[in-house]
Structure formats: structure tokens, C-alpha cells
Structure 1
């Protein structure tokens, strides 16, 4: 496995996009701690307080499942 390959759930290897020139976006609400970027057909998410730290990489299908789960309260702590 190369440095540009990420292993996700189910141990499926997928391409890790080059995030060097990514345009990171923050939400209009909150402190902008979570940032996302759309790069090479993937969605990257990182902690904006640690921009040199790691990023999570999602395929479009994974991102859709994440967003729909969040919208439905799947990740609520209460």
C-alpha cells in the first residue's frame, strides 16, 4: 500500500487525494473548527485548529451516508 492509499471500513483500499492545494471550507455557523474540501472526486474533512494534522477522506457515497446520518440524529450524544 502506498502513502497515497487509505484503507477504509471493510479494508477496501482507496486513493488518497493530494490535499496540498485544497481549498478548505468552513461552515457559517460555529467557530469553523471543522473544515471540508472537495478534491479529486473525494471529500476531505479536518480540524481547522490543526490544519497540518490528519484529514479524513470520504468517497461521495460515504459522505452522503455521514451527512444523512448526522441529519437524522444518528450521532447525537443525548
Structure 2
């Protein structure tokens, strides 16, 4: 993980945040993700209820590893 909330206001303003359509009907407790606009391939993640709060930034390799794991079912578990 590259950093927690380590973005300046200009970097944050340039992020095109996305939220999963699967989350929109789930009570609004969601995460948002967006690529940094600096060409680095880094991806920022934040809580949708706290858009001005902490942001976690992942490198391209970290994000690709996570998405690959999701697609492969590595994070499928039952939450009670």
C-alpha cells in the first residue's frame, strides 16, 4: 500500500470516483474507487459517506492483484 490520505486537494479533485451499481441498493455503505489522473496507474479508494476523509492509494500492481483475486473468487466468504 502506497499511502493513506496522501493526496493533495488538486489530486483528489481530479479523481473520477466510481461506485459499484451493486452497492447502490445496499444501504449506502459503500466504497468508491477512482484512478489518479497522473498516468501512474494508481487507484484511490475511499468511503462513500466520508468523501473528504481518508483515502488509500494503491499502485497499479496492487490494484490488479486485488481485482484478479476478486475475479478468481479468492475473497468469497460468508459474512454473518
TM-score calculated relative to the size of structure 2:
0.65
> Separation in 1 of the partners of 2:69 and 2:23?
20
For the aligned residue pairs, the C-alpha RMSD in angstroms reads: 2.2
Structure 1's consecutive aligned runs of 4 or more residues displaced over 3 angstroms after TM superposition are none
Higher relative contact order (CA 8 A, sep 6+): 2
Number of equivalenced pairs: 66
Unmatched segments (≥5 aa) in structure 1: 8-15
Q: Does 1:19 align with 2:12?
A: yes
The structure with the largest strand share of the pair is: 1
TM-score calculated relative to the size of structure 1:
0.66
Partner of 1:13: none
